[in-house]
Amino acid sequence: MIELILGGARSGKSRYAERRASEFDGEVFYLATAGADDQEMALRIKKHQAERPSHWQTIEEPVMLAAKLTENDANGRLLLVDCLTLWLSNILFSGSEGVNKEQFEREKAALVAVLPTLKADVLLVSNEVGQGIIPVNEMARRFIDEAGWLHQALANISHQVTLVTAGLPQKLKG
């Protein structure tokens, strides 16, 4: 089972995903994509870690998500990925020349290919960023476009898609 969980900033999407994971009868592996690039982000990460059950295994992977999912795949296991838009940023803006489109396309294709082959259940958390105005900044527009295309590809292969708004989950698919 693959579930894509979307929502805006502070919508409750991570809390919803963690609640779903806590109901899972098996091992839970939490794949975190965030990096502690500044003090505020480091505090956010520590807060999230403190709120998770201690028996969950945390794996930090900012880029090679498909490989880590494959490496940790097993029957009776749930793999919770939080968050795909941070993963997108990690790859897309990693090059010294600006946008690293080629690496993102490779990693995105690997992710979309590997997900349907996994034995584990998967929860994918991501920010819905396409409901606002179109930014004047080219890089911001690129990010929104790539996130939207990523979400469409993942929604296509997901068994369930849930949109969380104000802490309320709304089933879009499944």
Phi, psi of 61 (to 5 degrees): -145, 105
First to last CA, the chain: 10
Other C-beta atoms lying within 10 Å of the C-beta of residue 5: 28
Other C-beta atoms lying within 10 Å of the C-beta of residue 128: 20
Other C-beta atoms lying within 10 Å of the C-beta of residue 61: 18
Note if 151 is an active site residue: no
Q: How do beta strands 57-60 and 160-165 pair?
A: unpaired
Catalytic residues: 48
